[in-house]
A and B are shown apart, each in its own frame.
Chain A
């Protein structure tokens, strides 16, 4: 059950990154930092602004979107024609800067994010789950569904898909390429922030929580196939569940290794991802 909760949030991280990495071809090593930002933004909203929990989560999402939009416009847009290595290095710089800024502002001691849910587990049939985790799962599922709808059904989603399949044609048809890039990055980052705001109260918030989150997000994206939303969703769930199983049956010290091993194995044997259906023409 915990695997599903983790999995749902991993799916959020994965969907965000599959849009950014898969569609925009930006190797966003700072993705985990948006996750961390989400947790700290929620913390800040609760602590400083005194809003209630649900508003704090929304505030976190908004913060993620805003900073993501800013990053894209100031850093990525001027470098769009450079090689992929250059954008990778820039995002590594952003990663370092964000993490240490968080260290400076909030200190290295882990913060506990207060939440309004009772701690006694709810018993639903054969499973027992803490109400907070149920909330996290529900919101995660809701956001995942919302993302699917956005990409598939709305005008913005269609514009996104058009831009990344064939930029020139999309531009000719009147799509504002710059705005789509910024919006996509902002959306992906917002999802990461949401994941952070949701998981922050479950665990703790500390500045380096994003490092592993970044790598797991990449793991999910690779598992599901670049740019493949349903793949990322399934991949996230798979990762969450296998981590929980791994921790239970192997040893909890190696639980984080699951993500790494997945990356290595999938890239070695099925680089297009487990769920990719078509062979790409070289």
Chain B
């Protein structure tokens, strides 16, 4: 990704509201941005430390509910609520991270699913807190000083800022000694330990950052759709995130973003054409095909074909 290319993309992103044809398109862009944050967060765990967390919707949902409840019931303003959502989701990530110390691979996956399942059931049944399946309507829009960020354009820039922040955090982590430690854990944990990588510290760190970022996505989602219900814990959200990361290219930073845009725009485009069952069916088939034929994802596949330069 050259600096010119990156600058160009940034320019497009910054001016998007000016040249998108309708508010609906802007809506799609906002959703793509939120999922971009979520995909980047899952990528830290899945792509870099190699731990498949299939309970990621739990962090998303915890962020959404925390932010919604604080602004609705305790009348906090948006920004502290956002911070609390990120913190609480991060704490959940800490818990999962410590669990992962004893468990790897499939066991870790199962625990993450179970965790999400329990949290989901709590959100459905603890009616005094969460209003159960009816959900929490009327989540207030965020404010920046005297301005309300109620309009789509304003919210778009908020989400864009969040995507940029998530990207920068991910980039800095990944390019550093910490990122190398993450990758070492994924590639060969025994070897990583022998050269002094503290497995506990780095796995928990990855889980906390990943969860906190997902919590950020959740809060943004809650204040955009202005409604939170136990549906945020739906497994299909996790699946969507996984597909975005895997299809886009886990272990890269552009991959999840590409995946997020692709798999937000695609269903919207398909929605006009077919029912969502066909779409989900297509998702399933697509996932299978991608794993079999492009196991490293779209971005690595494409960049590999570009870098077939002559040997020196």
Complex partner residue of A253 from B105, B121, B242, CB under 8 angstroms: B121
CA gap between A21 and B106 in the complex, in Å: 9
Binds B, one of A60-68, A80-88, A143-151, A184-192: A80-88
A79 at the interface (CB under 8 A from B): yes
Which range holds the interface residue count of chain A? 35 or more
Whose C-beta in chain A lies nearest to the C-beta of B115? A264
Interface residues of B in 227-267 (CB under 8 A from A): 235, 239, 242, 246
Question: In the complex the two chains form, is A88's CB within 8 Å of B284's CB?
Answer: no
Main secondary structure of the interface of A (DSSP, over half): helix
CA gap between A261 and B118 in the complex, in Å: 7
CA gap between A260 and B115 in the complex, in Å: 7
B113 at the interface (CB under 8 A from A): yes
Question: In the complex the two chains form, is A101's CB within 8 Å of B281's CB?
Answer: yes
The 15 listed contacts between A and B (C-beta, < 8 Å) are A75-B288, A79-B291, A86-B291, A89-B246, A90-B292, A92-B287, A93-B291, A96-B283, A97-B281, A97-B288, A98-B284, A215-B113, A254-B125, A264-B99, A267-B102
Mask: chain A, 211-241; 1 = CB below 8 Å from B; 0 = not: 1000100110010000000000000000000
**Chain A residues positioned under 8 Å from B111 (CB to CB):** 263-264, 267
B52 at the interface (CB under 8 A from A): yes
B17 at the interface (CB under 8 A from A): no
Interface residues of B in 264-311 (CB under 8 A from A): 277-278, 280-281, 283-288, 291-292, 295
Question: In the complex the two chains form, is A100's CB within 8 Å of B277's CB?
Answer: yes
Please give the residue numbers on chain A whose beta carbons come within 8 Å of chain B beta carbons, in ascending order: 21, 27, 75, 78-79, 82, 84-86, 88-90, 92-101, 103-104, 211, 215, 218-219, 222, 251, 253-254, 256-257, 259-261, 263-264, 267-268, 271
Question: In the complex the two chains form, is B102's CB within 8 Å of A268's CB?
Answer: yes
**Chain A residues positioned under 8 Å from B113 (CB to CB):** 215, 260
CA gap between A230 and B46 in the complex, in Å: 34
CA gap between A75 and B106 in the complex, in Å: 19
CA gap between A86 and B226 in the complex, in Å: 37
B295 CB → nearest A CB, Å: 6
Whose C-beta in chain A lies nearest to the C-beta of B52? A85
Complex partner residue of A257 from B121, B235, B280, CB under 8 angstroms: B121
Question: In the complex the two chains form, is A267's CB within 8 Å of B242's CB?
Answer: no
